[in-house]
Chains A and B, each alone.
Chain A
């Protein structure tokens, strides 16, 4: 049985999704605007990895929701 996450861990997960989102957008701009094939290809690859990171973080959040307490714990 996994233990519920702490408030601090929740903050880190939320901040992490915000970071991944920003990097996703930046790489989308680089992939579409770069005239350099090497950079453009790397940016496209990074988009996928950031999407995976985001999904993993979001899934963790959903899993944790099920076991989290609904009242503040003493």
Chain B
């Protein structure tokens, strides 16, 4: 193929396309979540996946051509700090969920005239979630 001089260097043009692919992935994902018809939702879901694949391919190609500088590696102490913090968050959330679920078991719920939905014996309710 004969190469014609572009107005932009390869690198800039590829960056522009990568940027637009990222934007279009987001737009397709948004369109999928806001679709009413199942057929249209599937259309936008498929287009999201296809565009995401292209974005990944272009990124890899640019990285191989040394056109893309990824940000510096995260430091171990920063990783550990975040890990510790979110370990605590997870524990608190698990406690919260357990409280809510055990509260549900203690308070009998009334489902009107549908006795089949009555809670079983309260004494037997020992929630084992997240233990």
Contacts and interface: CB of A to CB of B under 8 A. Distances in A.
A-side interface size class: 35 or more
Interface in B4-22: 4-6, 10, 13-14, 16-17, 20-21
Contacts of B61: 38-39, 42
A52 B40 CA distance: 16
Determine chain B's interface SS by DSSP, over half rule. helix
Contacts of A40: 1
Contacts of B1: 31-32, 40
B37 A6 contact: yes
A33 B17 CA distance: 14
Contact of B40 (A9, A20, A32, A33): A9
Interface in A28-68: 29-36, 38-40, 42-43, 46, 49, 53, 56-57, 60
Nearest to A43: B17
Contacts of A39: 10, 14, 61-62, 65
A7 to B, nearest CB: 10
A37 to B, nearest CB: 9
A29 B24 contact: no
11 contacts: A5-B37, A9-B37, A12-B34, A19-B23, A19-B27, A32-B1, A34-B13, A39-B62, A39-B65, A56-B43, A60-B43
Given A6-B37, A8-B36, A36-B10, 20 more contacts: A2-B37, A5-B40, A9-B35, A9-B36, A9-B37, A12-B27, A12-B35, A12-B44, A16-B27, A20-B24, A27-B17, A30-B13, A33-B4, A33-B5, A33-B10, A34-B3, A46-B54, A49-B50, A53-B51, A57-B43
Interface of A: 2-6, 8-9, 12-13, 15-16, 19-20, 22-23, 26-27, 29-36, 38-40, 42-43, 46, 49, 53, 56-57, 60
